[in-house]
Amino acid sequence: MRSRLTVALGRTARLAARVRGGGSGGTAFPGLVMERTDPGFLERTLGRLPRGVIVVSGTNGKTTTTKMVVQLLREQGLKVFTNRTGSNFVRGVLASLLTEVDAAGNLDADIAVLELDEAHAVHFVARVRPRACLLLNVMRDQLDRFGEIDYTASLLHSIAKATSDVVVLNGDDPRLAAPAFLEGVSARVVSFGAGEDLRSLFLSDDDLRTGVVSPRQAGQAPSPRVTLEAIDGQRATVRVDGTSHEVDFAIPGVHNLLNACAALGVVLEVLGEDADLPGLLTTLGNVRAAFGRGEVLTLDGRPVQLSLVKNPAGFRMGLLSAASQAQDGEVVVVAINDEYADGRDMSWLWDVDFSALRAGGVAVVTGVRAWDMALRLRYDEVEVADVEPDLRRAVALMRRVAADTDRPMRIFTTYTAMLALRSILGEMTDVEEVMS
């Protein structure tokens, strides 16, 4: 009876939010209503899932990796609940549940795979103990929220300690692989990582500052069960339990190949002997990018790729991915906002090497911090054709340059700018609807 009332209240709140928002929105508010009126709803609902809950957290790659895990499990025949809107706070999970449960609060799923913000994941695991967690990395991000990087590591440590069965972590991240991180963790620990020949591509936060790849230390996390051994364009060599497999990936971005290894690692652990490895590898090759994370749209018959950037490591990987795809002559746009969801502190832009953009320059810099970004590019001798803080006018400029020169487009964008740009582009071309 309690759950039935909570669902009714949540759906009423969602309807009210949509009416007030003109027919859109309503992702977080109903979750807030449910959280305040029935704090036990989350635990009651998810606690009944036969295969439990997988939590995915870390600084970079949560949304795309979560999508990969979900697709892998579904292709193996499981019914999976996930917070696909990307709202990775506890309230976002509740709002996503609202769209999946019946009137009595029953969820028709075998397992839940949830992307969770590092800080909010700590609140979540205090209510719902995950069966498995996947911890991707620890990077400087949103310094106004998280402060020092070791604090972020401590948040992930809390998730690991709360996990009952298995912790899958990045064995190349010095903070996650450190013996101190594993103290108090009762679940078994396995890792994923990059082969020695690729470690210079996937630098840790410390490596970014020193410019030297940190050697693996004895006594750290167990040797990786899944390893990314080699990359040749969209083809990669993935080693699983000592055996190499060739996979042709559809998803763009070298960073997403490592995310794929992470996803495969946690799925193998959760499925155990039921795992169909050949089928999993086939599915992995077919996964597409999550919205805004390397997502490719078509505008005026030309591709436009959205590349989410939010910290030095993420921007670096975005630039590397652009270079690896050999898209000569792209019309490049950089969109930088500093809203709460982006992080207010934009000083991290000065830790990114933008020299890769010198050859082609940047067509438009836009967003709330457009002039700051233009100044940063000037220091790296990158030519900027236009500075236009208004996103809609910036899209028009990009579109005009692409049409005049018949070139593909790429937008490096922070989170809130990405959401706004997708809305603007949705008026001009097909864009997948992701909000509940």
Return d(Cα 213, Cα 199) in angstroms, integer: 7
CB 23 within 8 A of CB 14: no
**Tokens, residue 237:** 């060599």
Q: Which helix (H) or strand (E) covers residue 288, if one does? A: none
CB 139 within 8 A of CB 313: yes
Known catalytic residue at 380: no
CA angle 87/252/64 to nearest 5° reads 20
Return d(Cα 166, Cα 188) in angstroms, integer: 5
SS3 64: helix
**What does DSSP assign to residue 371?**
H
In this structure, the number of other CB atoms found within 10 A of the CB of residue 100 comes to 16
The dihedral formed by the CA atoms of 9, 12, 18 and 19, expressed in degrees to the nearest 10 = -140
Return d(Cα 137, Cα 343) in angstroms, integer: 18
Sign, CA torsion 318/320/325/331: positive
Environment class of residue 356 by beta-carbon count within 10 Å: exposed (0-12), middle (13-18) or buried (19+)?
A: middle
Query: What single letter denotes the amino acid at residue 395?
Result: V
Q: Helix 90-98 to helix 29-37 angle, to the nearest 10 degrees?
A: 100
Return d(Cα 11, Cα 32) in angstroms, integer: 12
**Tokens, residue 426:** 């949705």
Environment class of residue 251 by beta-carbon count within 10 Å: exposed (0-12), middle (13-18) or buried (19+)?
A: buried
**Tokens, residue 371:** 């002039």
**Tokens, residue 259:** 């995310």
Catalytic residue among 110, 207, 248, 345: 345
Tracing tokens 């270079």 back to the chain, one arrives at 323
Catalytic residues: 345
